[in-house]
Amino acid sequence: MGRPREFDADEVLDKALEVFWRKGYEATSLSDLTEAMGITRPSLYAAFGNKESLFCKALERYVASRRALVIEAMALPTCREAVERVLLDAAAGLTDPCSPPGCLTVHGALACGSAAESIRDQLSSKREDFEVRLRNRLLQAEAEGDLPPGTDVDDLARYVATIAQGMSVQASGGADRAELERTVRIAMQAWPVGTNGG
């Protein structure tokens, strides 16, 4: 019978996540990971598989922590409130001093070369999931008269996603929370008003 693990899997996964987030998938070595996680290479393989498998587990943990905020925001009464809350939450998260700046799904994709195409595809898929969630909320809003008739919800969802991704790039470059919040306020000035005034 094998020896029991001598580490907390969630704790070391969070440490791996931070390394991937700061350095990018390709620039992160197994030595970087084992040093940050405080475990040996055999323990890493036994618990998480190879580097790609570890990244996927870290990515799922990252996305799950942010998905809860998005779901909560999407439940707000109007789509304008929902989108504004998503973007303001993003401004806070992207500049959280306890985490690397920016967003893993954006920064990670920008740092991926052709050798890590499968990783780039996974990151792209996570960004698409967010856009689909937005689109569904906008479709609901259109049906409720919360958006003008004939609104192109695909374009509007893409607009919001583009703002969020641009904020991530800005945060990675040093923009602070107040600057990103001003960007949100300007972006929301262009929000279409529905027949119900929402």
163: domain CATH number? 1.10.357.10
Domain count along the chain: 1
In a domain, 132, yes or no: yes
Q: Which of left, alpha, beta for 197 (phi over 0: left; psi -120 to 50: alpha)?
A: left
Answer with the residue of higher pLDDT: 55 or 116: 55
Q: Select the highest-mean-pLDDT range: 7-16, 63-72, 79-88, 106-115.
A: 79-88
Tokens found for residue 98: 């306890």
In a domain, 92, yes or no: yes
In a domain, 198, yes or no: no
> For tokens 């704790």, what's the residue?
11
* 8 Å CB contact between 147 and 194: yes
Q: How confident is the model at residue 196 (pLDDT cuts 50, 70, 90)?
A: low
pLDDT tens string 140-152: 999 999 999 889 9
Answer with the residue of higher pLDDT: 140 or 119: 140
What burial class does residue 178 get, using C-beta atoms within 10 Å of its C-beta: 0-12 exposed, 13-18 middle, 19+ buried?
A: exposed
Give the end-to-end CA distance of the chain in Å, rounded to a whole number. Answer: 62
> Does 14 have pLDDT greater than 90?
yes
Q: What is the pLDDT of residue 4?
A: 46
In a domain, 2, yes or no: no
In a domain, 3, yes or no: no
In a domain, 196, yes or no: no
Q: How many Å apart are CA 51 and CA 115, to the nearest integer?
A: 14
Listed residue (174, 190, 198) closest to 87, CA to CA: 190
In a domain, 88, yes or no: yes
Q: What is the pLDDT of residue 114?
A: 59
Q: How many Å apart are CA 25 and CA 125, to the nearest integer?
A: 16
Q: What is the pLDDT of residue 1?
A: 43
Q: How many Å apart are CA 196 and CA 10, to the nearest integer?
A: 46
Answer with the residue of higher pLDDT: 112 or 193: 193
Q: Reduced to 3 DSSP states, what percent helix, strand and coil does the chain have, rounded to the nearest 5?
A: 70, 0, 30
Q: pTM of this prediction?
A: 0.85
Q: If you ran DSSP here, which 8-state letter would residue 183 be given?
A: H
In a domain, 55, yes or no: yes
Q: Please provide the average confidence, as pLDDT, over all residues in the chain.
A: 88
Residue 135's domain spans which residues? 9-188
